Structure 1
Amino acid sequence: MPLPLYLLAVAVFAMGTSEFMLAGLLPDIASDLGVTVGTAGSLTSAFAIGMIVGAPLVAVLARNWPRRTSLLGFVLVFTAAHALGAVTTGFPVLFATRVVAALANAGFLAVALTAAVGLVPPDRKGRALAVLLSGTTVAMVAGVPGGAALGALLGWRATFWAVALLCLPAALGVLRGIPAGRDAAGVTGRPALRAELAQLTRPPLVLVMLLGALVNAATFGSLTFLAPVVTGSAGLGEWWISVALVLFGAGSFTGVTVAGRLSDRRPGRVVALGGPLLLVGWPALAVLADEPVALFILLFVQGALSFAVGSTLVARVLHEAAGAPTMAGSYATAALNVGAAAGPVTAAAALGSPAGESGPLWASGLLVAVALLIAFPALPTITAGQSSEVPG
């Protein structure tokens, strides 16, 4: 894999850390800026909304720009937003920087998804996406716990500065590794915007976007409410929450890495085998949540399966949206973030059910079940036109 691809993954790591890091910083932010913890929690919602709206909106605005210009611009805006957030003394300004950072994150990921596959031969697209998305999984393993520790030692502002500094190698990677010029950007001879948006009426594309959203909703629904499972159902201390998150993140990294090698050749098999295992895993986790050893093993396994299936579906979105070369990445990004936003809402409702702390786990199983009911009758459609099914 080319070095620029790994530097793009560093940016995804920084942005993933930023997206998830607030969970451990909210009390300090609230105290420092004179707001309630509940009000500070709106920073998370601001980022999520910015990601959902930003992916297609920013992609439309940037479709006439060369990819190098777009990626560099998004990285610099993201960096500036965190630098401003680190020095502000007012909550409204911090809130605004989170929205701006989310828009830049969405735009960067949308363009980076298509740029990543352009850096490698066609038969290695899945592996390229795996490298790029591994930035998110490493953020869960190291970035979020590291950010929380840095915030505890030096204050929440130090974490914002750290995220900003992490973007500098990525900016260098964009300058050195992404070709300049309009032709390299893929804008010469591109379809009209109306034609690219019309791709959203194609059933195969809508199908894989829906499946990606459902699987991601299941993943982030349970992940958001993992803490009550660890401290409630398993009866462990609060510091074990970090252990659980690291194990889930380590599994995610394993899953996205393995799937990257398989999704180029056998995407149907990844979905057909990984999907049912993922379905069984969430209820098993709910039933065995009171057994710490089983809980931690299953968290690793579910992280691996969730990201293996999810990253394969991302690759299929890009394949089905081949007729929208400047918008395909935004379609994949929007699908993933719709799931990331809808999953916690569904899980929160389940948290108030008789299942209690295990409710979100059961809800995740239900979401995966719906995805599989849709996916299996349409499996030939999901893998149609993919040369990757050739043995090798």
Structure 2
Amino acid sequence: MTDVELSYVKHSLYPRLALLALSLFVVGTNAFVIAGLLPDIARTLGAQPGAVSYTITFYSIVVAVAAPAVSILVPRWSRTSLMATGLVLISAGTVVAAASSSIELFTVGRIVAALGGAALVPAATAAAAALAPPEKRGRAIAFVALGFTGAIALGSPLGTALGALGGWQLPLYGVAGLALLLAGALVVFVRDIPVAPPVSLAKRFAPLRDRRVLMTLGTTLFVIAGFNIVYIFSSSVTAQATGGSGSRLAFLLLVVGLAGIVGTVAAGHLSDRIGNRLNVTVFLGVQVLVLLALPLVAASLVGTAVLFALWGVAAMEVLVPVQHRLVDIDPATSGLALSWYTTAMYVGIALAPPLGAAATGLGGAELIPVFGAVALAAALLCFQIGHLARRPRTTDAARSASAELPTVAHQS
């Protein structure tokens, strides 16, 4: 590149990455804000909170299945078109959900929004890698991934607070409006993104032949399930501490989100200093202890806030070394392995509502954190088994795939 071209890339890159990060913020907020609005949505629709929580399961299953399907079926589509289409679907589906008067119509709206997320998320991450020069690619991906972290830290608690002030429909309409504005902005400002060559099915499935990868993906599934069992049902878990106040619940969710940012920032440094295995073991252990302690401080807002802060740090911190483990297993196929990480993440989210509902049915809200702790213990077991597994024979299909996918993954 000439000096002029390099200067253009430098000054135009981060504004475009900011639009991509905002797009992921919309997707994340749309997914996580339901947790804080669950009781109000249930009352309006004449349904049980557990039934409404299952819409999160449907949402996550659609994303988990549709995201890879989109990349297989339309590999040559412009990424700008994919992202804009995804945002329009998110907007339309969210409007349907907000305007619905029945659980069935609400579910349809959530599924339409999920299809939009499935089109948007992989395209946005790939676009971040494609827009940046090689020496800035990692930072570009991390910058865009902050959209998801911001959704947990700010989007969900802000949406919960808005719901307490103006009804649960208000934050959903806000998400829909922002999605539509971003769709137009992407079409205007984020164009001419290089398209990577398609990857065959054989290459996509090649990493799953490695039991170490499978166990690490199992770790991911249970880590995400354990977090979301408690997060999705946080209104029930914290009912005594908040007294049913939406603003107090929003405060607790803000504590989790801000603590999660601290955990994410610290994770990389700790992984380099103490290694992934010890890192994951320690912070999964912390999460188990925190969740088991939650029922003991159920009536205290301060006590719950302290434990939520510890939980947020540990929950977000552990995701980084898990992804590093996938890279360390076989750097040559890490891009494909990390694409499976995203699928495992959404399957974990999908499992959380039925598990949380089962806990509520068996022992009430006090049992929900216990179920979360059990899922995290299962994650720890998977992680240790993965470290004991042996390296399989390397396949040419797996090896040749590394250049075709960027080594990226998303957090939740």
Which TM bucket (shorter chain)?
0.7 to 0.9
Contact 2:216/2:382 (8 A) holds in 1: no
Distance 1:251 1:119, change over 3 A: farther
Q: Quote the offset at 1:60 in angstroms.
A: 2.0
Q: 2:214 aligns with which of 206, 219, 223?
A: 206
1:333 is the counterpart of 2:342: yes
- TM-score with structure 1 setting the length: 0.78
Match of 1:73 in 2: 85
Letter of the 1:362 counterpart:
A
- TM-score with structure 2 setting the length: 0.74
Distance 1:100 1:145, change over 3 A: same
Distance 1:61 1:35, change over 3 A: same
Correspondences of 1:18-167 after superposition (within 5 Å): 18-26=30-38, 28-29=40-41, 40-87=52-99, 92-120=104-132, 127-167=139-179
Contact 1:258/1:308 (8 A) holds in 2: yes
Per-residue displacement from partner, 1:333-364 (whole Å, max 9, x unpaired)?
A: 21101112224544555563697454235324
Per-residue displacement from partner, 1:354-376 (whole Å, max 9, x unpaired)?
A: 97454235324413421432344
Letter of the 2:157 counterpart:
P
Distance 1:305 1:119, change over 3 A: farther
Structure 2: runs of 5+ lacking an equivalent: 1-12, 393-401, 408-412
Contact 2:286/2:314 (8 A) holds in 1: no
Match of 1:283 in 2: 289
Q: Quote the offset at 1:52 in angstroms.
A: 2.5
Cα separation, 2, equivalents of 1:84 and 1:288: 36
Report the identity percentage. 26
Cα separation, 2, equivalents of 1:66 and 1:222: 38
Match of 1:237 in 2: 243
1:255 is the counterpart of 2:263: yes
Letter of the 1:279 counterpart:
G
Distance 1:119 1:80, change over 3 A: same
Match of 1:360 in 2: 371
Distance 1:197 1:380, change over 3 A: closer
Letter of the 2:173 counterpart:
W
Contact 1:110/1:333 (8 A) holds in 2: no
Q: Quote the offset at 1:215 in angstroms.
A: 1.9
Q: Quote the offset at 1:286 in angstroms.
A: 1.9
Cα separation, 2, equivalents of 1:157 and 1:141: 20
Cα separation, 2, equivalents of 1:217 and 1:241: 21
Match of 2:195 in 1: 185
SS in 2 for 1:215: helix
Cα separation, 1, equivalents of 2:185 and 2:272: 31
Match of 2:381 in 1: 370
Distance 1:28 1:362, change over 3 A: closer
Cα separation, 1, equivalents of 2:304 and 2:139: 30
Contact 2:212/2:391 (8 A) holds in 1: no
Q: 1:16 aligns with which of 13, 23, 28?
A: 28
Contact 2:58/2:111 (8 A) holds in 1: yes
Cα separation, 2, equivalents of 1:32 and 1:363: 33
Q: 1:296 aligns with which of 296, 305, 308?
A: 305
Contact 2:36/2:249 (8 A) holds in 1: no
Distance 1:174 1:258, change over 3 A: farther
Structure 1: runs of 5+ lacking an equivalent: none
Q: Quote the offset at 1:151 in angstroms.
A: 3.1
Per-residue displacement from partner, 1:259-286 (whole Å, max 9, x unpaired)?
A: 3x549x8398255324313313421442
SS in 2 for 1:64: coil
1:7 is the counterpart of 2:15: no
